[in-house]
């Protein structure tokens, strides 16, 4: 039995490994995906199929199908000619398209994800009487007359079902300001803040007559007044596809209703719809089982007065041991959707006059919401798993909840570059619990840059992707791929999501689509192969016990001491300690993944009694616990009666074994003092972010150099044989230059700004076939590169440039002087011919299905400058066909064996040939390639095809563009034009080859 189980596990592991493919050629399961926007289900099926196939052809592993419907109709109503009732989500027309999409994924071997509903996927078509639809809690209040008698109907009567009527004595009234939001263009506005006497809260819910009348009297005085608060739950029938029609005579006439996200009942409404209207087609069900991966939901964008579900009062009482009703006045401010309603937290904020102002009750309310939300997630997860699929969702980070407690409730948790502002620390807050719960995929909706439609360079996108990788993300879903065909009231370049408010439309109308995007996709996918291998190894856990996640995902650990030293860290909420994998053994927290070596609690954290007890247990079990900057504060629950006990427990913990204190920003030095060195120590004049994964016997290391060109070295805690993995070409080579020191490997590095490098450390993979016996301890600066093969040995390429220290030393101690008696033969390519292929709108701009109308102009360039500086190209978009030539060899007097060709940094892609030979993909951040094999004596021709961004051209026809019935929504003035083309110097760097048998 046990043996069989073992064999099964091995078989499962093998299946997982094979679906990952290889580093050189990652499987579709680990490749980048596109979010694919369907305008509505009336669009041409063949075009959708062709779009999906084209995505696969340029290297995408799959698509995430999403019926956008003008963002559910919220940015613009359906255009003339559209019929969103007939072509709505889950209609027969939709299912036909859905099935065809699934078939095209199957035919191309791609994987398939799908939104669970239209727009953000937060609801489905339903009857208005469905109890699973979204609930709101409406607050009302009225002042009690100054004679102290309230006789009459309670405020808001008949708004919905009364949840509670509460009275309170008001001890102070002031005006506060709700902030403006630039993202949502919402203005600042005033609200009122009431301080209520703590002991004065009284629940009168049970004394209200059937017609809503009460008779209440209060002991008033001239010093204080009383107020009545009434709360009603009701279904606001808010929609994620906003139409009212009478076309079909079915539920589709009303579009799609947002469901309750704080109950299993809400999830059931979604499930019932799928079962009754989509999965009743057995072909679809079978196809989903074959190629489907994730049912998906976007970030929660539901607006309300107060986040609510009828299930909340019971959950609240169950987990907190007292009733919620009396405390609802404390919940009516900032508990709706802080992420999308930043300027509208409420018009009235109530706090208590006791210490802590009643925050303990708010914390308990949020804990109840979290539990309700987890019921929602668990129900959808279980249903999808029953179908052989998984649930991927952007977990709660807009809501007034701590996302970290719920991330482990979905198979593939997803974050996003937009809401997380590309902040590595924000990503670390997301990935910690995912790693502990051993979620193999941490997904990211990537590249929805505001006001960057058609103007987001791939180089910038890759910088964002690498930043996400550095924070623990390992799956990119690009935002997004656009439908290429015609649509109602839509001109060229076609249906553009969010009316151009956000980047980007990836499709064949983008010049980069066929000329560079596939290189970027392969590069990202190979990095995902590495970052999805095995399990992560993270040095440090940071304690993060917040009441709600900051919607801006601001940095929590403010100093750079950990990063500077190479310590990797992620955040854990105290609730995450209850996950079964979060045990301590051998001094490691969550020893299988990510095997934290210490936990740090900063002084700006707040802790509960339970939290301190967990830390105490961890310390007792052998995990180092470090207080940074002093003891943390107190995290209140309910009446906050245990404050003194929490502080006493903290003092006790502070005196325990394995517990240490250090100053703020001094954690790294404390860790070093405790001999807890980073697994990958970083020594650099820049900022390097290591990500380490362990897969059986192989360790994978990914390094991002952010922001600047930088030098230095890594000290890796491994003595396995290091290999270089080139994510651009897929090639793997034994690493030439490193030092062994004790049980570490020291690797010198020079990285360009935003460059990444990847290594594998292994004694088992590849060891016999391609590993030399020796490596180099010293490599002079004039060595440009090398090739190695067991039969051919090491071929070193050294330039004719002078070197300072010219000694090449092997690990057996042998040294060679590599200085050359030559002047530098490096040259710059000049006299370029540029044929600009202009990609433009058709004469009939209403024909959006045209890729582009193309025409050429020819330009002679002595030096390579931006298209903004070339007459006739300022407003151009398309392809630049650059060509130039040089003669070879460079000097009759000196024999050279080959040359490197280098390009300036690449913004949007490049395809290079030398004498007609494709030189392969180039690293955008440091484009250089050995062209030795392609050189001939005499004239040698270099060509480069360089795609542009579309923006400058799109900007020039902006006034003519119509999308689904309206003009695009970019703000006035339009964003500036952008640079295009090759800008800078192209160099030929000749080299001399020397062979060493090592």
Ligand X SMILES: *[C@@H]1O[C@H](CO)[C@@H](O)[C@H](O)[C@H]1NC(C)=O
For residue 166, the minimal CB distance to ligand X (Å) is 21
Closer residue to ligand X (CB): 224 or 816: 224
Closer residue to ligand X (CB): 220 or 753: 220
Q: Which stretch binds ligand X (CB under 6 A): 142-150, 228-236, 448-456, 718-726?
A: 142-150
Closer residue to ligand X (CB): 147 or 175: 147
846 belongs to the binding site for ligand X (CB under 6 A):
no
Closer residue to ligand X (CB): 212 or 622: 212
Could you say which residues in the range 564-593 bind ligand X, by CB under 6 A? none
Question: What is residue 949's DSSP assignment?
Answer: P
Cα(744)–Cα(747) distance, integer angstroms: 10
For residue 152, the minimal CB distance to ligand X (Å) is 8
For residue 146, the minimal CB distance to ligand X (Å) is 7
For residue 337, the minimal CB distance to ligand X (Å) is 37
Closer residue to ligand X (CB): 144 or 562: 144
Closest residue by Cα to residue 602 from 635, 568, 643, 558? 558
The end-to-end CA distance of the chain, in Å, is 49
Closer residue to ligand X (CB): 52 or 214: 214
For residue 151, the minimal CB distance to ligand X (Å) is 7
For residue 173, the minimal CB distance to ligand X (Å) is 19
CB-neighbour burial class of residue 851 (10 A; exposed 0-12, middle 13-18, buried 19+): middle
Cα(318)–Cα(646) distance, integer angstroms: 23
Closer residue to ligand X (CB): 146 or 617: 146
Instruction: Identify the three-state secondary structure at position 898.
Output: strand
Please state whether beta strands 62-67 and 33-38 pair in parallel, antiparallel, or not at all (unpaired). parallel
Q: Which helix (H) or strand (E) holds 436?
A: helix 424-436
Closer residue to ligand X (CB): 145 or 160: 145
Q: Which stretch binds ligand X (CB under 6 A): 145-153, 327-335, 530-538, 648-656?
A: 145-153
For residue 498, the minimal CB distance to ligand X (Å) is 52
List 161's β-bridge partners, or say none: 233
For residue 145, the minimal CB distance to ligand X (Å) is 4
Residue 420: count of CB within 10 angstroms of its CB: 24
Instruction: Identify the three-state secondary structure at position 53.
Output: helix
Helix H, strand E, coil C: the string for 72-121 is HCCCCCCCCCCCCCCCCCCCHHHHHHHHHHHHHHHHHCCEEEEECCCCCC
Could you say which residues in the range 102-141 bind ligand X, by CB under 6 A? none
Closer residue to ligand X (CB): 204 or 515: 204
H helix and E strand count, the chain = 17, 54
Helical residues (DSSP H) of 496-588, grouped into ranges: 517-531, 561-565
For residue 411, the minimal CB distance to ligand X (Å) is 59
CA within 13 Å, CB half, 742: 4
Q: Which stretch binds ligand X (CB under 6 A): 19-27, 143-151, 689-697, 710-718?
A: 143-151
- Asked whether the beta carbons of 21 and 30 are under 8 A apart, the reply is yes
Helix H, strand E, coil C: the string for 119-184 is CCCCEECCCCCCCCECEEEEEEEEECCCCCEEEEECCCCCCCEEEEEEEEEEEEEEEEEECCECCC
Instruction: Identify the three-state secondary structure at position 373.
Output: helix
From residue 74 to residue 93, the character string flagging contacts with ligand X as x (rule: CB under 6 A) and all else as - is --------------------
Give strand ranges (E) for 742-864: 744-751, 756-761, 776-778, 783-789, 793-799, 807-810, 815-817, 827-828, 832-840, 853-861
145 belongs to the binding site for ligand X (CB under 6 A):
yes
Closer residue to ligand X (CB): 204 or 439: 204
Closer residue to ligand X (CB): 216 or 393: 216
Closer residue to ligand X (CB): 142 or 849: 142
CB-neighbour burial class of residue 845 (10 A; exposed 0-12, middle 13-18, buried 19+): middle
Closer residue to ligand X (CB): 222 or 862: 222
22 belongs to the binding site for ligand X (CB under 6 A):
no
Question: What is residue 275's DSSP assignment?
Answer: I
For residue 222, the minimal CB distance to ligand X (Å) is 15
Closer residue to ligand X (CB): 22 or 221: 221
Q: Which stretch binds ligand X (CB under 6 A): 144-152, 291-299, 373-381, 421-429?
A: 144-152
Cα(880)–Cα(727) distance, integer angstroms: 26
Rule CB under 6 A: choose which of 1, 3, 4, 147 binds ligand X: 147
For residue 82, the minimal CB distance to ligand X (Å) is 55
**How far is residue 483 CA from its own chain's centroid?**
23
For residue 149, the minimal CB distance to ligand X (Å) is 4
Closer residue to ligand X (CB): 150 or 229: 150
- Asked whether the beta carbons of 826 and 803 are under 8 A apart, the reply is no
Q: Which helix (H) or strand (E) holds 660?
A: strand 659-662
- Asked whether the beta carbons of 618 and 659 are under 8 A apart, the reply is no
Closer residue to ligand X (CB): 151 or 250: 151
Retrieve residue 992's tokens: 């001399």
Closest residue by Cα to residue 809 from 801, 798, 821, 817? 817
149 belongs to the binding site for ligand X (CB under 6 A):
yes
For residue 664, the minimal CB distance to ligand X (Å) is 56
Cα(331)–Cα(335) distance, integer angstroms: 6
For residue 147, the minimal CB distance to ligand X (Å) is 4
Closer residue to ligand X (CB): 143 or 617: 143
Burial 49-63 (b: 16+ CB within 10 A, else e): bebbebbbebbbbbb
219 belongs to the binding site for ligand X (CB under 6 A):
no
Cα(523)–Cα(704) distance, integer angstroms: 14
- Asked whether the beta carbons of 536 and 435 are under 8 A apart, the reply is yes
Angle between the 359-386 and 264-273 helix axes, to the nearest 10 degrees? 30
Q: How many residues bind ligand X (CB under 6 A)?
A: 3
Phi, psi of 105 (to 5 degrees): -65, -45
Give strand ranges (E) for 179-246: 189-196, 202-203, 213-217, 225-235, 239-241
Closer residue to ligand X (CB): 92 or 152: 152
CB-neighbour burial class of residue 718 (10 A; exposed 0-12, middle 13-18, buried 19+): buried
Q: Name the residues that contact ligand X, by CB under 6 A.
A: 145, 147, 149
């Amino acid at each position: 039995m046990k043996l069989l189980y073992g064999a099964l596990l091995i078989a499962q592991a093998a299946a997982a490994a094979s679906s990952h493919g290889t580093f050189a050629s990652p499987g579709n399961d680990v490749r980048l995906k596109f979010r694919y926007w369907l305008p509505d289900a009336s669009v041409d099926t063949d075009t959708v199929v062709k779009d999906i196939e084209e995505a696969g052809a340029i290297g995408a592993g799959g698509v995430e199908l999403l019926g956008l419907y003008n963002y559910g109709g919220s940015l613009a109503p359906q255009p003339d000619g559209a019929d969103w009732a007939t072509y709505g989500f889950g209609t027969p027309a939709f299912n036909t398209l859905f099935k065809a999409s699934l078939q095209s994924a199957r035919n191309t071997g791609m994987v398939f994800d799908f939104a669970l509903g239209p727009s953000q996927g937060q609801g489905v078509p339903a009857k208005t009487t469905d109890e699973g639809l979204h609930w709101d809690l409406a607050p009302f209040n009225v002042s009690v007359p100054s004679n102290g008698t309230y006789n009459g109907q309670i405020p808001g009567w008949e708004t919905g079902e009364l949840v509670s009527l509460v009275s309170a004595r008001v001890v102070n009234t002031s005006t506060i300001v709700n902030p403006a939001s630039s993202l949502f263009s919402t203005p600042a506005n005033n609200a009122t803040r009431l301080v209520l006497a703590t002991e004065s809260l009284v629940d009168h819910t049970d004394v209200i007559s059937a017609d809503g009348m009460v008779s209440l009297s209060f002991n008033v005085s001239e010093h204080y007044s009383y107020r009545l608060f009434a709360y009603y739950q009701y279904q606001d029938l808010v929609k994620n596809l906003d139409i009212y029609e009478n076309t079909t005579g079915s539920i589709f006439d009303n579009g799609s209703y947002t469901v309750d996200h704080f109950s299993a009942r809400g999830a059931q409404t979604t499930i019932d719809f799928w079962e009754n209207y989509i999965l009743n087609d057995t072909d679809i069900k079978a196809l989903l089982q074959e190629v489907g991966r994730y049912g998906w939901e976007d970030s929660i964008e539901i607006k309300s007065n107060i986040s609510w579900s009828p299930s909340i009062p019971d959950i609240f009482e169950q987990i907190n041991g007292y009733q919620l009703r009396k405390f609802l006045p404390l919940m009516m401010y900032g508990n709706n959707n802080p992420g999308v309603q930043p300027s509208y937290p409420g018009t009235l904020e109530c706090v208590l006059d006791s210490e802590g102002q009643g925050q303990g009750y708010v914390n308990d309310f949020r804990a109840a919401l979290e539990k309700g939300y987890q019921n929602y997630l668990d129900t959808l997860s279980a249903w999808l798993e029953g179908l052989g699929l998984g649930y991927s969702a952007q977990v709660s980070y807009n809501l007034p909840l701590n996302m970290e407690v719920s991330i482990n409730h979905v198979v593939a948790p997803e974050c996003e570059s937009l809401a997380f502002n590309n902040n590595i620390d924000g990503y670390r807050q997301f990935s910690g619990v995912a790693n502990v719960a051993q979620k193999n995929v941490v997904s990211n909706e990537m590249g929805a840059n505001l006001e960057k439609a058609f103007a987001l360079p791939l180089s910038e996108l890759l910088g964002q992707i690498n930043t996400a990788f550095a924070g623990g993300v390992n799956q990119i879903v690009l935002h997004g791929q656009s439908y290429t065909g015609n649509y109602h009231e839509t001109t060229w370049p076609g249906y553009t999501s969010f009316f151009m408010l956000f980047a980007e439309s990836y499709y064949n109308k983008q010049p980069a689509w066929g000329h560079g995007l596939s290189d970027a996709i392969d590069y990202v996918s190979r990095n995902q192969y590495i970052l999805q291998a095995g399990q992560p190894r993270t040095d440090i856990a940071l304690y993060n016990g917040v009441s709600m996640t900051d919607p801006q995902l601001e940095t929590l650990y403010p100093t750079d001491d950990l990063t500077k030293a190479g310590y990797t860290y992620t955040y854990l909420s105290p609730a995450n300690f209850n996950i079964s994998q979060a045990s301590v053994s051998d001094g490691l927290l969550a020893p299988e993944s990510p095997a934290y070596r210490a936990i740090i609690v900063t002084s700006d954290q707040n802790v509960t009694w339970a939290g301190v007890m967990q830390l105490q247990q961890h310390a007792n079990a052998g995990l180092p616990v470090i207080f940074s900057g002093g003891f943390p504060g107190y995290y209140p629950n309910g009446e906050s009666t245990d404050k003194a006990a929490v502080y006493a427990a903290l003092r006790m913990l502070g005196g325990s074994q394995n517990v240490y204190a250090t100053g703020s920003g001094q954690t790294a030095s404390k860790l070093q003092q405790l001999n807890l060195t980073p697994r990958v120590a970083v020594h650099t004049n820049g900022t390097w972010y290591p990500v380490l994964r362990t897969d059986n016997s192989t360790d994978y290391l990914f390094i991002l150099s952010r922001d600047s060109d930088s030098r230095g070295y890594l000290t890796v805690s491994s003595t396995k044989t290091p290999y270089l993995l080139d994510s651009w070409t897929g090639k793997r080579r034994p690493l030439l230059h490193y030092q062994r020191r004790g049980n570490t490997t020291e690797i010198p590095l020079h990285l360009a700004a935003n460059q990444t490098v990847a290594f594998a450390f292994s004694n088992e993979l590849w060891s016999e076939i391609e590993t030399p016996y020796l490596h180099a301890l010293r490599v002079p600066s004039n060595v440009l590169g090398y090739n190695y093969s067991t039969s051919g040995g090491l071929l070193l390429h050294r330039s004719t440039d002078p070197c300072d220290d010219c000694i090449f030393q092997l690990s057996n101690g042998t040294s060679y002087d590599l200085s050359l008696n030559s002047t530098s033969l490096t040259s710059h390519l000049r006299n370029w011919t540029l044929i600009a292929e202009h990609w433009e709108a058709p004469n009939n701009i209403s024909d959006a299905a045209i890729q582009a109308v193309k025409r050429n102009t020819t330009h002679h360039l002595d030096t390579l400058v931006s298209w903004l500086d070339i007459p006739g190209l300022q407003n151009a978009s398309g392809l630049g066909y650059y060509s130039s030539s040089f003669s070879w060899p460079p000097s009759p007097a000196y024999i050279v064996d080959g040359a490197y060709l280098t390009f300036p940094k690449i913004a949007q892609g490049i395809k290079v040939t030398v004498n007609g030979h494709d030189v392969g993909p180039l690293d955008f951040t440091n484009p250089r390639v050995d062209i030795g094999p392609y050189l001939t004596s005499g004239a040698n021709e270099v060509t480069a095809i360089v795609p542009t961004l579309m923006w400058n051209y799109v900007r020039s026809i902006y006034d003519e563009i119509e999308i689904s019935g309206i003009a695009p929504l970019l703000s006035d003035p339009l964003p500036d034009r952008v640079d295009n083309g090759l800008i800078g110097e192209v160099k030929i760097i000749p080299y001399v080859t020397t062979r060493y048998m090592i």
